[in-house]
Chains A and B, each alone.
Chain A
Amino acid sequence: MKSRLQINNLHVEIDGKEIINGIDLVINPGETHALMGRNGSGKSTFSNTLMGHPAYKITKGEIVFNDVVINNLKPDARAKLGLFLAFQYPLSIPGVTVANFLRQANKALKQNEISLKDFRKQLYEVMDELEIDHGFATRYINDGFSGGEKKRMEILQMALLKPSLAVLDEPDSGLDIDSLKLVAENIIKYKEKNPEISILLITHYPRILEYIKPHRVHVLSEGKIIESGGAELAHELEKRGYEWVVEKKMEVTV
């Protein structure tokens, strides 16, 4: 395997409007990358496109995941290859318990059925590791969950389904500082136990990167990666804001 994820000259449109215009990105096994950008820079379009949201159309370029071109694969097929997206706004499904949902997901992904008892044991183990109350297992998915609970539930799903690449779409958005810390700790804990997993962390604020140290940081602006660097790029952004990168980029272009 050359890389976990390789994106070549990706162009994406929605409703005929081009949002992503030429992204190149390589993520190797075990690497953590941060993709940063302001609102409207195309971050969510990018994450949804990776997962195969039907509303987003790839007009050019390709997404190679674990050596497979996944451009035309449905979301469930991508999940089966080991791709996972932690949603920025996880949806609630009334009447469907977290346990039932995860058991079906687990069954679909692992292609083997384990007994209800064994599955429950597995689920509780992961919940214990992430310090999530067992009571969530019998609650309906995200129904009445707080912002922080929803985000942590996404990490729980990741930890249970064990993807090889997790795209975390703004796991920090809308959280207070305590919730943010909890979510970040959950991610770190999982990553430490599973160093081979690759993570693409999409965020607006550099703060979460104080906890989760990325190997690479990319800045997205108007559907393009305009700057890439090491973890220090995030510090620079914290100090100087997005405007600085955008201006710097313009200077270069001029």
Chain B
Amino acid sequence: MALELNQEYQYGFHDVENYAFKSGRGLTKEVVSNISKMKKEPQWMTDFRLRSLEIFLSKPMPKWGNTHLLNTIDFDNIYYYVKPTEKQGKTWDEVPTEIKNTFDRLGIPEAERKFLAGVSAQYESEVVYHSIREDLTKLGVIFLDMDSGLRECPDIVKKYFASIIPPEDNKFAALNSAVWSGGSFIYIPKNIKVEIPLQAYFRINTENMGQFERTLIIADEGSSVHYIEGCTAPTYSSDSLHSAVVELIALKGSKIRYTTIQNWSKNVYNLVTKRAVAHENAVVEWLDGNMGSKLTMKYPSIYLIGKHAHGEVVSVALSSGKDQHQDAGAKIIHAASDTTSVITSKSISRNGGRSSYRGLLKVHKGAENVKSKIRCDALMLDEISRSDTYPTMEIDEKGVQIEHEATVSKIEDEKLFYLNSRGISENQAKLMIVNGFMEPFVRELPMEYAVELNRLIELEMESTIG
């Protein structure tokens, strides 16, 4: 069965550009200063940006990962700041019609009505729509776009911003720090449990766009929050760049779950730095789904710095096409005693696609009674695809309990025969096996997202199974 190729990515459409401001191509000091000036930022942020630019320019490109693809990024061809509209909407009617229509097609307002407690919609560099349920605001929950966060909560932002991912961390964190715009700022007060997810949606529309959102989530003691992000972009013949920085701070006894469904079109470089610290008794969970993009390099990290903190990363990656590489993984750093962690990584490669698991497990000296479980499973759907595993372990303490398991499998003919013998067609059987493989990830998602993700996988699979 061969369906039309254009069915493969259904969010590849784009809108006519009618923007309030669009910077020229390329990155200069002027571009950076201008962004800060247009946003009327405090001096410390302007200085931070300019310092970050220096770091970005002085740092070499990474010498690991898919250097071939990385080195094809043309930094001079990118638009670093695009402001789609002057004003952020608090209702969808306040959002420019074309942009509103785009989010309608992506199903965001509908999802908001049905099952979200707050929504942030970013289009190019700016958040164009933002809302949060009133009852949460009354409880003191802050959910803003990052720029508003800087204006309205300068003290908290100054305290935590770049506190766990400094610009020196890596070249792309430095780039983000220089030109960041949009993203989410969330503060959950003590003992407040936000049961319904907050969601941010990121959309790139312009060709050669660079989107650099910045997200900071602080869960105060005993609180909990679930944040979900999704992203799509039009399909263009030349590339766009998405390079976000996400920092999570889970204070004593709090819980943060951060879910990503990354579905960029296959001309987007997705180079993201995500890191969390978990204090005593805190729980941080990254659920990281990577379906799209050209090259993704992303290794959500958790620093377990307080006793009894728990960290968990569940990731899936679907790589389908000879120019696609999902280089994903996880990093867990046990820096305190009695901390526990689980990493579950699932990757599917097909149609010449490449998936890599890159992981780090570190146990600091003095961190006693640490337990960790790592499981990496790769499923290869054909002979031309590729899967690699790069696990690193640095254990500086004795008596650490670590389980590590890695498997690479194909869809076995015997399994297909078994399902076929029950009347299930070959395509359906393959899809069933793939969905089953992804199940440990999908079952963690809210039902609506699980359905959507299964549908996405089905669409992806339909185009070449046959």
Contact = CB atoms under 8 A, between A and B. Distances in A.
Interface stretch (A93-101, A128-136, A173-181): A93-101
B436 A94 contact: yes
Interface in B408-466: 412-415, 417-426, 428, 432-433, 435-440
A15 B371 CA distance: 49
A93 B435 CA distance: 10
Most chain B CB within a 10 A radius of its CB, from A52, A55, A96, A102: A96
Given A54-B413, A76-B423, A95-B437, A104 B432 contact: yes
A80 B439 CA distance: 28
Contacts of A241: none
Interface stretch (A60-68, A84-92, A210-218, A245-253): A84-92
A104 B424 contact: yes
A231 to B, nearest CB: 29
Contact of B440 (A76, A85, A95, A104): A95
Contacts of A79: 420-423
A105 B423 contact: yes
B435 A53 contact: no
Interface residues of A, number: 29
A76 B425 contact: yes
Contact of A75 (B420, B432, B437): B420
A128 to B, nearest CB: 21
Given A87-B418, A93-B433, A96-B435, A55 B413 contact: yes
Interface string A138-164: 001000000000000000010001000
A54 B417 contact: yes
A51 B435 CA distance: 25
A116 interface: no
Contacts of A90: 418
Contacts of A80: 423
Contacts of B421: 51-52, 75-76, 78-79, 84-85, 87
Contacts of A101: 419, 422, 432
Given A75-B417, A90-B418, A95 B424 contact: no
Nearest to A80: B423
Interface string B346-362: 00000000000000000
Most chain B CB within a 10 A radius of its CB, from A53, A76, A78, A85: A76
Contacts of A84: 421
Most chain A CB within a 10 A radius of its CB, from B412, B414, B417, B421: B421
A140 B436 contact: yes
Contacts of A76: 420-426
A223 B419 CA distance: 27
A108 B425 contact: yes
Contact of A96 (B412, B413, B426, B432): B432
Contacts of B419: 93, 101, 105
Contacts of A95: 435-440
Nearest to A102: B422
Interface string A41-69: 00000000001111100000000000000
A176 B233 CA distance: 59
A226 interface: no
Contacts of A75: 417, 420-421
A180 to B, nearest CB: 23
Nearest to B428: A104
Nearest to A91: B418
A177 to B, nearest CB: 27
Contacts of A85: 421
A4 to B, nearest CB: 18
Contacts of A157: 422
A105 B438 CA distance: 20
A235 interface: no
Nearest to A87: B418
Contact of B417 (A53, A94, A102, A140): A53
Contacts of B437: 94-95
Interface string A165-209: 000000000000000000000000000000000000000000000
Contacts of A161: 422-423
Most chain A CB within a 10 A radius of its CB, from B412, B420, B435: B420
A93 B413 contact: no
Interface of A: 51-55, 74-76, 78-80, 84-85, 87, 90-91, 93-96, 101-102, 104-105, 108-109, 140, 157, 161
8 contacts: A75-B421, A78-B421, A79-B422, A93-B433, A101-B432, A105-B422, A108-B425, A109-B422
Given A85-B421, A91-B412, 5 more contacts: A84-B421, A95-B435, A95-B438, A109-B423, A161-B422
